[in-house]
Amino acid sequence: MGLYRENGQRITKSAFPAVTLADPPKRITENVYQTEPYGRGDGRPEGSRRHLLYEAGDMESFPVSARRSL
C-alpha cells in the first residue's frame, strides 16, 4: 500500500509534496469537562471529580490527538 504516480512509480514519503498547516481556531459551544474517578480503588464506584477543560465561548486550536479524545 502506498501512493503511486499515474505511470506506476511509487511516491516516497520524502518526495511527497505535503505542507503542514495550522488548524484554524474553533469556538467552544459548551463547557467541556474531564472526569476523573476517586475513591478507594476497590472496583466500586465512589464518585468522580470534574475539571473544567474548556469554557463555553473560548477560542481554541485543537491538535489532532486532542480531537480524538474529546
Report CA 66 to chain centroid distance, whole Å.
2
Which pLDDT tens digits describe the chain residue by residue (70 residues)?
A: 778 888 989 888 887 777 777 778 888 899 988 887 776 666 655 667 788 888 998 888 766 555 444 4
Three-class DSSP category at 68? helix
Please give the Cα distance from 66 to 10 (Å, whole number): 32
pLDDT, position 68 = 45
> What's the pTM value of the predicted model, to 2 decimals?
0.46
Grid cell at residue 41: 480503588
pLDDT, position 7 = 92
Closest CA to 31 of 11, 68, 60: 60
